[in-house]
Amino acid sequence: MQDVRKRAKSNDKNVSERNIPKNNESNVNNNKIPTTQRNISLRIISRVVVIFSLLIVVYFSSKNDKVKTFAKQSELLPGKGLVVDCSLSYKEEVEKYEGCVPKECKRFITDKVISVREAEELLAIAKKGLQLGGSSGGASILDLHSGALSMGQHFVNIYKREDAKHIFSETDFNIYRVVKEKIKYAVAHHFGVKPNKIYLTHPTFFSEITSKKAVTMHDEYWHPHVDKETYKSFHYTTLLYLGDYNIDFKGGRFVFVDEKFNRTVEPRKARLSMFTSGRENLHYVEKVTSGNRYAMTISFTCDQQYAIQDPSINNI
């Protein structure tokens, strides 16, 4: 019996020893589990980083492929044009007006029509008027013809203000008229129309765009639009830039929206942009991120009933 009890105790001891892991074995197993988990985690993180990096590259490559620079600020352009198909509605309308039908619809950029000195003189005129007003948002305008001036969330007539009675001189208006005539003849020449068949039309104005947050719909200049649909009288749109992109302001490039990719125009002081006002020239302006962007919009119509007179000291 004693031998049996001894063998039983011995067996129980052996079973217990087999079921209880040694300290060294326990440490080894505990170390193996975290290491494996870390390796798996590192592989997952590495793959995520690689995939994310590829997505960024693809996104920006795709984005850049859809935007082409049509006119750089650093370039001095004698003239650069691009012919586009006239929209049907634009073509049908201008064909009603003899001598005002363009040889072809297009956009044309030149740095040779208006001088830098003339642009600086116009900028001084614009600033004199705009300093008396200013939009609550980021876009302000001054119209020398009607006197419209952005003021807060509304417009006022600058010519009705006592502090603006003598702000503009006849010399200012003469400079304006000379530049307008140069632009008018440039439009006639490049689009193949008769200069006496296109008429200055409303609205024609100075604009100042800043990085201020938009307050009213008039501040939201960055939406794509068609000039002919916004302004019924427009047939030819021209823009004269009074400052330099990336020098006087950042952002604010002019963007033509085309089917395959967009084309940008970088403002340059005294740069003139001309284009037919129909749907063939859908466009917008990028948001200005810093500085002040000044330009002048001068528009022309084929319909004489929408013609406006040149501004004059006698009309104030």
Q: Which residues pair with 265 in a beta bridge?
A: 71, 254
The tokens for 48 are 């995520």
196 within 8 A of 210, measured Cβ to Cβ: no
Active site includes 293? yes
298 contacts 205 by C-beta, under 8 angstroms: no
CB-based burial of residue 288 (10 Å sphere; 0-12 exposed, 13-18 middle, 19+ buried)? buried
Asked if 206 contacts 243 with a C-beta cutoff of 8 angstroms, the reply is no
Q: What angle do CA 9, 13, 14 make, to 5 degrees?
A: 120
CA distance 184 to 106: 16
Residue 107 phi, psi dihedral angles, 5° rounding: -130, 145
Q: Write out the two tokens for 159.
A: 């010519």
C-alpha distances in angstroms, 87 versus 93, 181, 201, 261, 281? 10, 27, 21, 18, 9
CA atoms within 13 A on the CB side of 114: 33
Q: Please give the Cα distance from 22 to 102 (Å, whole number).
A: 96
The answer to whether 314 touches 260, Cβ cutoff 8 Å, is no
Structure tokens at 67: 């935007």
Contact 114, 183 (CB under 8 A): yes
The catalytically annotated residue of 253, 263, 268, 293 is 293
Task: Cite the active site residues.
Answer: 293
